[in-house]
Amino acid sequence: MTVRVVSYNILVPIFAEETDYYTKCQPQHLKTDYRWNLIQSQLKQEIINHGNTIICLQELSLPLLSKFELFFRELNYKFSHNLYGQQYNDYMGVGIAVPMSIHVNNISMIIVGDHIKKMCKSREQPSNIFSWIWNWYEWIKGKNKLYISDPWETAMLRSNVLICLQIMIDGRSLFIGTYHMPCLYKEPDVMAIHASVVKDLMYEQAAGQDFILAGDFNIKPQDVCYQVLTEKNYNRYNFPKSNVYEISYQPNFEQILKSAYCEKNGTEPIYTNFADTPKSSKFCETLDYIFFTGHLTVENVLELPADPDSESYPDETHPSDHLMIAATFQLS
């Protein structure tokens, strides 16, 4: 028995159509209707050409939500989603679509920042004269422009949601999760916290059973976060401390993930994200992954292009600045 997992960051319309952002793209290729036709065509091909195809989406948005609901309904799919963003980003969110033929036992939607908050307890403030000195010190720190915010505080303020489904295939339980990592390149400690917590949350949800975690993790294969996720007892990284909170979270460095593309091809894709924007010129890196653990074998992966053939995505044939990725797993 096999299962096909597709992961796709589809790019929210408000970003695609933002003036002076995707300046190297043809305007007609940034229009929502044009991009939607390509997106649904690509997803439909995956569903038609493979059995038990599960779709994981990132940058799902309010403007496209009804279109997706109708699209999946017509293909006899059930669609679980959570839009956790705000107006400025089209209420960005994530979703998982599963064929009606596959029984869904359980659906969990976890606001990872809230979960992190439960593991952070504010340190007790000193009293009397020491309290005044402490408050004065904190005020001076706040005035100091070089003062760096506490990574745990930043991590708990993020509203990103992990969706995790327990499904049954041929009488066998399998957990499927999707996540869109906060895009905080300048705060790698925050991303390390989210990466580790999401990994451990999936292990907790699955409780010893097999699982697949797909999404846009906003990390490159050479980044520390990737090693934290994939290398056992990774000890070349000092997990962030907090000056504000007592942290009860203990990362589990024994629990690691495998990457479908790396397992099948011996390396990660050359790139899964390509865009030339004012903020990042000719950015071309791998940011999307299908991680897994357990008694699963990667049968095949969707072949990806070796090099972009345009100045920037989105373009005529790529409706997002991310590539769709996919992997077929044999349940052994």
Residue 14, H or E segment:
helix 13-16
What is the C-alpha to C-alpha distance for residues 240 and 312, in angstroms, rounded to an integer?
36
> Is the pLDDT assigned to residue 143 strictly greater than 60?
no
Which residues fall within 8 angstroms of residue 329, CB to CB, at 6 or more apart? 2, 3, 4, 5, 212, 260, 292, 296, 297, 298, 299
Give the C-alpha separation, 47 to 75, whole Å: 9
218: left (phi > 0), else alpha (psi -120 to 50), else beta? Answer: left
Higher pLDDT pick, 142 / 116: 116
Exposure on the CB side of residue 248, measured as CA atoms within 13 A: 8
* pLDDT greater than 60 at residue 145: no
C-alpha dihedral, 269 to 275 to 276 to 277, nearest 10°: -140
pLDDT at residue 129 in the model: 65
Q: What is the CATH number of domain 2-331?
A: 3.60.10.10
Q: Where are the domains of the chain?
A: 2-331
Share of the chain above pLDDT 90, in %: 85
Q: What is the pTM of this model?
A: 0.92
Integer Cα distance of 29 and 25 in angstroms: 7
Strands 53-60, 2-9: pairing is: parallel
